[in-house]
Amino acid sequence: MVFLGINGFGRIGRMILKLAIERDMEVRAINEPNTCDTAFLAYIFKHDSTHGRFFGKAVPEGDCLNINGMKIRVYRERDPSKVPWLNTSVDYVVDSSGKFTCRNEANKLLCGGAKKAVVCGLSDDIPMYLCGINLKKYKSSEKIVSLGACCTNCLAPIAKVLNDKFGIASALVTSLHSVTHGQQVLDAVGKQYRLSRGAFQNIIPTAPKAFDAVTKVIPALKKKILGIQYRVPTPNVSVMSISVQLKKCTSYKQVKCVIREAAENDFKGVLGYTEEQAVSTDFLGSTCSSVFDASAGQMLNPKTYHLVSWYDNEVGYSSRVLDTVKHMEEQDIIAREMAMLKQRRKKQKC
């Protein structure tokens, strides 16, 4: 059984809790400093305007939430180093606040006694692991890991499959990303000019680091990927357009075949595949990081292709968070057992 703590009970934090309920994972504690009302946390968890109502039990009980009989302690600390995770036996803390993406800040997540921390977001100095790409390289000695961004997780599987099979000479990526909680409902004073404009009145260009982050886990693509993201006025589900120049000649039929095979085997559960005439709401609730849209792609010549992939930027990403925690736990158990075995052998020699 994995014992989780969640730091930040926003869109991703709440989705992680919902998905954890469906798995063999137990959330023991939540830290949400933006409200002192536990009843409100129960309400906002139960009533989701995007994903629908949670029909299980979700009620406040003093300083705790009771979710389907699972008692979750609620803390309200702005400084996560003050959260006593150890008091609730939390092993892994997931930071879904988006505020602790550098190592110095992320270290605060471990001060309360948790063993490991998983950071939801891009980081310059925390190692990034993506399911299906490099997660098997995770070492139990690492205390803090990053999962990158949702669009990093969407692009990486397709980029790896294509690069391994055909080689990628270059790729131009455009992401149409749904509104996020950090945007403004109406024009407001802010630090970023464009993102200070009304989210539901505008299509807003941004220049994210998420695409370049793919090269951290697929070094062969360094200086070969360029991308832009547009925030669009939809509540959830995003889409990625990839214009790729391959090194080897092939056909669109073969490209589809290779991606489909990967989706059914090595990347099962991470990469999806569809030939349906789908639109964004058809992917609401998809647990895949990336769903390749075979019917939307095009071929310009044997080396140049335009590809399309969809992703539920909340459910897909949150699913990978839990997959990563589960893998970490498995590897950490193996490491502990190996350490105990070595210790016993030493005693036997003595």
Binding site listing for NAD(+): 11-12, 78, 313
Are 45 and 39 in contact by the 8 Å Cβ rule? The answer is: no
Per-residue burial over 206-223, b if 16 or more Cβ lie within 10 Å, else e, is eebebbbbbbbbbeebee
Angle at CA of residue 91, ends 53 and 23, nearest 5°:
35
Which positions are annotated as active-site residues?
150
Distance CA 140, CA 294 (A): 38
3-state helix, strand, coil in the chain (%, to 5): 35, 25, 40
Q: Which helix (H) or strand (E) holds 240?
A: strand 238-246
Q: 32-37: which pairs have CB atoms within 8 A and are 24 or more residues apart? A: 32/8, 32/74, 32/75, 32/76, 33/76, 33/77, 33/78, 35/76, 36/76
**Cα–Cα separations (whole angstroms), residue 175 to 4, 94, 132, 221, 280:** 31, 26, 21, 18, 13
Three-class SS state of 134:
coil
Are 70 and 59 in contact by the 8 Å Cβ rule? The answer is: no
List strands edge to edge, sheet with 25-31: 58-61, 64-67, 70-75, 25-31, 2-7, 92-95, 116-119, 144-146
DSSP state letter for 139: -
